[in-house]
Amino acid sequence: MMQNRKEIAEPLSSEYLDAIIEHSFDGIYITDGQANTIKVNRSYLTISGLKKSEVLGYNMRELVRNKTISASGTLMALAQKRPITIQQEFKTGKRALITSTPITNAQDEVILVITNVRDITELYRLKEEAAQFHQKERKLRKELEHIQRDSLKRCCLTAEDQKTMEIISLSKRVAPLDTTVILLGETGVGKEVFAKYIYQNSSRNDKPFIKVNCGAIPANLVESELFGYEKGAFTGADRNGKMGLFEVADTGTIFLDEVGELPLDMQVKLLRVLQEQEFERIGGRKPVKADVRVLAATNRNLEEMVRQKAFREDLYYRLMIFPIHIPPLRERPADIIPLASLFLSQLNKKYNFKKYFSLISITMMKDYNWPGNIRELRNIVERAAIISSGDEITPDALSLYPAGERPKAAPCVPAHTGSLKSAIEALELEYINHAYETFGNVRDAAASLGMTPSTFVRKRQRFSAQVKDLM
């Protein structure tokens, strides 16, 4: 038996050793004790991209000097008499992770250095691709943030009226907190605009903002839309289950518009989310955590709904932690013209228009009741900009009154007798004073009448003096 083992072992150390080295998956590079290359295998040539003639018989110092390799682990191992692991780059552009191990004799002299070579070219490629991917991701994220900011700029949060200024101040104060906010007001007053403003100024402004119109979801689908369901929860359910909008909004903000339209059974689940920050999917048994800031809005009288048992009292008080009432546009008249100007400016930019409101149109917009609030104002301005034949938007284009109900314009007759010239001057003064009252400054008032500021001031002073003389 011992003889048989010896017969097997001897050929392994001689006949088969080269074959083992040659068929190794790792590259193998062998030098003598003076760093002269004495053997390389096929894997090494594949990994490095070098030819055998470019390395065999060469000293490692020479290979480093002529930049065949970037650095030599062999030379380091010889100098330090210990295994050395480094990254190596070849003149072919390929890269490898190498480990050079010195082999010593009985006199502690290095007689061989065995270097194992592993290809990391692919690893570097993947690393570079990952870096490019993350760079693209950062770019896309920045673009998304820009789009979100731009979207919020377009949401028409502009104000001149003191009431609106106070609401903006209040919204900005509560925005950084995770307090539940409910926005109250008539349809079209801009509740969604203020919800987006609160979100933009919150600590969650880089996280999802999910809007849900509770009144637009069929009653039988509200629960699955808001809270999702497990697979096989009901007939026709997606076999993989479905995430609800509260899960989609995780770490971000959910805006429940028209929250007063929620069915009573869904009000219970919403109350649980607000109180315990968790819910259950349909067909689920495990609670799902909900790290979500809730903003709500309604045009309904929730207090009256509570009295009528149409809205849960406990949910009412939970939502009313921080109510913000947004008055209708008719109660903040100072906002009408700034908003109209903003909408028109957006349309001019979008369609390359040069539209502007006539002075009479401005007066009509200020005097109109706006039952549809800001939404109506936006729609009317857009329609007027489209149908007006010239750049000036006249009262006919505004169509503020139903057909047959438009009030007839009173004839503009001067309150004094005199020449036609004086009458025209008195009328022009009326226009000049009205423009100044509307815009509050000479530059904008003059521009609205097609005058230079100096002409505006000169005429205003001259005509005022003439009218006084006539009185």
DSSP conformation letters of 126-147: HHHHHHHHHHHHHHHHHHHHHH
CA angle 444, 450, 454 (to 5 degrees): 70
CA dist 241 and 358 (Å) reads 58
Does the pLDDT at position 149 exceed 80? no
More confident call, 396 vs 447: 396
CA nearest to 357, candidates 447, 455, 242: 447
Question: What pLDDT shows up at residue 147?
Answer: 52
DSSP conformation letters of 433-452: HHHHHHHSSHHHHHHHTT--
The domain made up of 13-119 has a fold known as Beta-Lactamase (3.30.450)
Q: How far is CA 91 from CA 45, 77, 133, 207, 208, in A?
A: 13, 22, 28, 47, 49
Return the SS3 of 357: strand
What is the average per-residue pLDDT within 83-97?
90
Q: What is the pLDDT of residues 94-138, one digit of tens each?
A: 888 899 999 999 888 899 999 999 887 767 777 777 777 777 666
Q: What is the pLDDT of residues 329-374, one digit of tens each?
A: 999 999 999 999 999 999 999 999 999 999 888 988 998 999 999 9
CA dist 428 and 220 (Å) reads 63
More confident call, 155 vs 382: 382
Residues of the chain with CATH 3.30.450.20: 13-119
CA angle 192, 198, 204 (to 5 degrees): 115
pLDDT bin (cut points 50, 70, 90) of residue 1 is very low
Residues of the chain with CATH 3.40.50.300: 154-327
Does the pLDDT at position 8 exceed 50? no
Residues of the chain with CATH 1.10.8.60: 331-398
CA dist 433 and 109 (Å) reads 106
Question: What pLDDT shows up at residue 283?
Answer: 87
What is the average per-residue pLDDT within 245-251?
93
More confident call, 245 vs 455: 245
Sort 276 into a burial class: Cβ within 10 Å, 0-12 / 13-18 / 19+: exposed
pLDDT bin (cut points 50, 70, 90) of residue 402 is very low
331-398 has which CATH code?
A: 1.10.8.60
Does the pLDDT at position 296 exceed 70? yes
pLDDT bin (cut points 50, 70, 90) of residue 237 is low
Does the pLDDT at position 412 exceed 70? no
Q: What is the pLDDT of residues 326-340, one digit of tens each?
A: 999 999 999 999 999
Sort 101 into a burial class: Cβ within 10 Å, 0-12 / 13-18 / 19+: middle
Main-chain phi, psi angles of 111, to 5 degrees? -105, -25
Torsion of CA 302, 308, 310, 315, to 10 degrees: 50
The domain made up of 154-327 has a fold known as Rossmann fold (3.40.50)
More confident call, 20 vs 268: 268
How large a percentage of the chain has pLDDT more than 90?
Answer: 55
Strand pairing category for 253-257 and 209-213: parallel
Question: What pLDDT shows up at residue 130?
Answer: 73
Does the pLDDT at position 17 exceed 70? yes
Average per-residue pLDDT in the chain?
84
What is the average per-residue pLDDT within 209-238?
85
How large a percentage of the chain has pLDDT more than 70?
Answer: 83
Question: What pLDDT shows up at residue 231?
Answer: 80
Question: What pLDDT shows up at residue 75?
Answer: 94
CA nearest to 90, candidates 123, 55, 126, 41: 55
